[in-house]
């Protein structure tokens, strides 16, 4: 590795947590002289931030690695070195297997240890042999909060929670991301303040189950008045490194804290003037009623977006039980009805799995019936994919691929129809749109509605980063068209 080794290309697979992590990897590497490039051909470091939620997602990584090997060899001929890093959930789930299948990979690093990347890159320079680092470390990736967080974006993700303790029988996440851990309130609040200072207007709070958020309250970090103290603390910060590991150690010893719920955290972030909109994802039905204030907040807190992504996976009680989801379809309806009562215009979204082991035509009909009753604004649906090591992969009654294909098609057609209806209903409405990027055509800009829809408007690029009132004049399957008022 030469000293000119500085351009980093990063490709992100999987969920929003990975999108957030990719941003953080670049943040962590920047002070060490690395810069981001969109061109893989000129990259000195290539990072694949991977996902293993379904078999296809994991296999994509190996086919991409095939292409990268060709590139690496070409660069070697020109005397240029290329360091290849596999990060994310494939790394965590099958680190050694990655090296076996692709021995030209230099570094394998898990989602809880990527803050070590600068050090690992240094090590590679010295040793030249590959490194696998997959620890779940106490000294964690959230300790460092760079001043550039959110720069250049009007909308930003903010990870508030890691891992998952739910162990749904189909899912690898509890194994790849580890035990559920909520970031302390003050650490999240600081990150939100930095984002606000850098022009972010909308923050989406992220986690696998943010409805189970239980954050260490700021008063164990600072003594009295919370907001005042946090502001003061931020001003006093001499460098931008905040060590929260000691607080976490403490937290393990003492379980009597008055933890903050998601709703309390949202109320607190809503106090930041520059932040105009707050969203959260993903929620799990079984935690939804523990924080009843969250539902009321959708009625009382103007900054909270009228959007709820609440995955149900299946409409059949038999399948829900077999999936270990720990709730019934009736309970899911109850939760949705409550949200609709306090926020009638709320946009609803979900995830679905079709072809889970043992799913009969009747079970699938229950899913279709649930979708018809709820009427979603959008949703994600997948064919069940057996993942090694998960309990569902060992059930005998696996479903034929052809049947999975048919069911997926039927479900997706219905969901597409519902999305179109939801979008059409918005024609004539006025709403606040946060503008994010240029449109495909010249003279167009694309923004986001409070209901998570893309909104295309005629306008100058100067309005990117602004929030404006827009009248919706047309709707398509995946976007709205509006006029700036
Ligand atoms: N924590 C979130 C989901 C994270 S994974 C939740 O509980 O809702 C995102 C989605 O991927 C899941 O909701 C599920 O629909 C899908 N998924 C997870 N494992 C899968 C598997 N083995 N096969 C197919 N889809 C899967
Ligand atoms: Fe996976 Fe279930 Fe956890 Fe979601 S709640 S991440 S589906 S185990
Ligand atoms: Fe994939 Fe890991 Fe997210 S498996 S969905 S990248 S938590």
Q: Quick one: CATH architecture of 140-424?
A: Alpha-Beta Horseshoe (3.80)
Q: What is the whole-number distance in angstroms between the Cα of residue 431 and the centre of ligand 3?
A: 33
Q: Does 89 sit in the ligand 3 pocket, CB within 6 Å?
A: yes
**Which has the closest alpha carbon to 202: 485, 451, 484?**
451
Q: Which residue has the tokens 């933890």?
A: 259
Q: What is the mean pLDDT of each run of 10 residues along the chain (485 residues)?
A: 72 94 91 93 96 92 95 94 94 90 93 90 79 70 78 92 94 91 92 94 96 85 37 34 33 60 96 97 92 94 98 98 97 96 97 98 98 98 95 95 98 98 98 96 96 97 95 98 96
Q: Is 15 annotated as a binding residue?
A: yes
The CA 53 to ligand 1 mean position distance, Å, reads 7
Closest ligand to C-alpha of residue 326 is 2
The span from the CA of 306 to the CA of 158, in Å, is 18
Protein residue closest via CA to atom 5 of ligand 1: 53
Q: How many angstroms is it from 380 CA to the middle of ligand 2?
A: 15
Ligand 1: residue whose CA is nearest its atom 13: 351
- Distance (angstroms) between ligand 2 centre and the Cα of 296 equals 25
Distance CA 110, CA 8 (A): 18
Spatial CB neighbours of 368, under 8 Å, sequence gap ≥ 6: 315, 410, 411, 414
The CATH superfamily of 430-484 is: Nucleic acid-binding proteins (2.40.50.140)
Q: What is the DSSP letter of 221?
A: T
- Stated as kind and residue range, the H or E segment containing 382 is strand 378-383
H helix intervals, 4-149: 16-29, 55-77, 88-101, 117-127
CA pair distance 373, 11, nearest whole angstrom: 38
Determine if residue 457 is labeled as part of a ligand binding site.
Answer: no
Task: With residue 50 as reference, give the H or E element that holds it.
Answer: strand 45-50
51 lines ligand 3 (CB under 6 A): yes
Q: Which atom of ligand 2 is nearest to the CA of 324?
A: 2
As annotated, the residues of the chain forming the CATH 3.80.30.20 domain(s) are: 140-424
Phi, psi of 225, deg, nearest 5: -50, 115
Q: Ligand 2 centroid vs 391 CA: distance in angstroms? A: 13
From atom 4 of ligand 2, which residue's Cα is the shortest distance away? 208
pLDDT at 264: 96
pLDDT of residue 129: 72
What CATH number does domain 7-135 carry, 3.20.20.70, 3.40.50.300, 3.40.50.20, 3.40.50.12160?
3.40.50.12160
**Which is nearest to 94 in space by CA: 167, 16, 175, 21?**
175
Residue with CA closest to ligand 3 atom 3: 15
Check residue 31 and give its pLDDT: 87
Task: Report which ligand 1 atom has the smallest distance to the Cα of 164.
Answer: 1
Q: Is 215 in the pocket of ligand 3 (CB under 6 A)?
A: no
168 is in an annotated binding site: yes
Give the number of the atom of ligand 1 that is nearest the alpha carbon of residue 309.
8
Query: Tokens 């495909």 correspond to what residue?
Result: 440
Q: Which ligand is nearest to the CA of 22?
A: 3
Q: What pLDDT was estimated at residue 128?
A: 67
pLDDT given at position 130: 72
CB 147 within 8 A of CB 124: no
Residue 313 phi/psi, 5-degree rounding, is 70, -45
Nearest CA to ligand 2 atom 1: 171
Nearby residues of 201 by Cβ (< 8 Å), 6 or more positions away: 154, 155, 274, 275, 276, 277, 434, 465, 467
DSSP string, 263-305: HHHHHHHTTSTT--EEEEE---HHHHGGGHHHHHHHHH-TTB-
**Is residue 266 a contact partner of residue 293, using CB atoms and an 8 Å limit?**
no
CATH 2.40.50.140 residue window(s) in the chain: 430-484
Tokens of 158: 């903010």
CATH 3.40.50.12160 domain locations along the chain: 7-135
């Amino acid at each position: 590795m030469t000293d000119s080794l500085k351009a980093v290309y990063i490709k992100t697979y999987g969920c929003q947590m990975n999108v957030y992590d990719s941003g953080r990897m670049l943040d962590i590497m920047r002070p060490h002289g690395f810069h981001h490039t969109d061109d893989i051909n000129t990259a000195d470091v290539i990072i694949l931030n991977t996902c293993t939620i379904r078999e296809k997602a994991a296999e994509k990584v190996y086919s991409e690695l095939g292409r990268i090997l060709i590139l690496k060899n070409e660069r070697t001929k020109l005397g240029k070195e290329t360091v290849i890093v596999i990060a994310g959930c494939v790394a965590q789930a099958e680190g050694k297997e990655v090296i076996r299948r692709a021995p030209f990979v230099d570094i394998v690093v898990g989602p809880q240890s990527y803050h070590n990347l600068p050090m690992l890159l240094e090590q590679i320079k010295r040793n030249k042999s590959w490194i696998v680092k997959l620890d779940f470390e106490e000294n964690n990736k959230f300790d460092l909060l760079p001043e550039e967080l959110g720069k250049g974006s009007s909308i930003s993700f903010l990870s508030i929670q890691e891992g998952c303790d739910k162990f749904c029988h189909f899912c690898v996440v509890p194994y790849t991301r580890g035990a559920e851990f909520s970031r302390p309130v003050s650490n999240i609040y600081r990150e939100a303040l930095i984002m606000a200072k850098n022009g972010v207007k909308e923050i989406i709070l992220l986690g696998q189950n943010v409805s189970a958020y239980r954050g260490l309250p700021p008063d164990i970090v600072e003594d009295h008045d919370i907001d005042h103290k946090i502001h003061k603390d931020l001003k006093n910060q001499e460098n931008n490194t905040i060590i929260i590991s000691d607080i976490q150690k403490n937290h393990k010893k003492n379980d009597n804290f008055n933890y903050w719920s998601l709703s309390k955290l949202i109320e607190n972030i809503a106090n930041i003037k520059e932040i105009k909109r707050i969203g959260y994802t993903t929620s799990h039905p079984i935690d939804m009623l523990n924080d009843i204030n969250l539902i009321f907040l959708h009625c009382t807190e103007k900054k909270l977006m009228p959007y709820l992504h609440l995955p149900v996976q299946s409409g059949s009680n038999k399948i829900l039980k077999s999936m270990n989801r720990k709730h019934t379809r009736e309970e899911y309806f109850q939760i949705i009805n409550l949200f609709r009562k306090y926020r009638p215009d709320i946009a609803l979204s979900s995830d679905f799995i079709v072809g889970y082991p043992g799913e009969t035509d009747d079970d699938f009909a229950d899913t279709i019936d649930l979708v018809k009753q709820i009427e979603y604004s959008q949703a994600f649906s997948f064919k069940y994919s057996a993942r090694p090591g998960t309990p569902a992969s060992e059930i005998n009654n696996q479903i034929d691929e052809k049947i999975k294909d048919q069911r997926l098609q039927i479900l997706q057609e219905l969901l597409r129809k519902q999305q179109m209806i939801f979008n059409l209903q918005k024609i004539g409405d006025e709403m606040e749109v946060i503008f994010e990027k240029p449109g495909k055509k010249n003279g167009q800009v694309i923004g986001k509605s409070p209901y998570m829809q893309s909104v295309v408007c005629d306008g100058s690029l100067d309005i990117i980063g602004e929030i404006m009132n827009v009248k919706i004049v047309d709707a398509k399957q995946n976007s709205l068209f509006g006029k700036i008022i």
